[in-house]
Amino acid sequence: MPSHHPLTVDQLRRVKQGIEEMQKHAEKVLQLMTAGYGESDERTIRAEELTAAFQRLEWAIERSERSCAESQGT
């Protein structure tokens, strides 16, 4: 079983920036899909799911950071 190592502060910062950029791009795509195909179109629904997935990933990272900080007593 491979060992896992936590991300460095710099790596975590870059991950967060990347997620933020992708989330902004996904939101723009969602706006275009909504305008072009309407809210009930499958493509628009998938674009909406994508933006929601980025949000859930962001929350999961935040929860993990809080958990690590609490376990370290900071």
Residue 18 in this model has a pLDDT that exceeds 80:
yes
Q: Do the domain assignments include residue 9? A: no
Does residue 44 fall inside a structural domain?
A: yes
For the segment 54-67, what is each residue's pLDDT rounded down to a tens digit? 999 999 999 988 88
On whether residue 10 sits in a domain, the answer given is no
Does the residue 2 lie in any domain?
no
Task: Return d(Cα 27, Cα 50) in angstroms, integer.
Answer: 9
- The domain total for the chain is 1
- Note down the domain range covering 47: 16-71
Is residue 72 pLDDT above 80, yes or no? no
Q: Answer yes or no: is 7 within a domain.
A: no
| Contacts of residue 51, Cβ cutoff 8 Å, sequence gap at least 6 | 23, 26, 27, 30
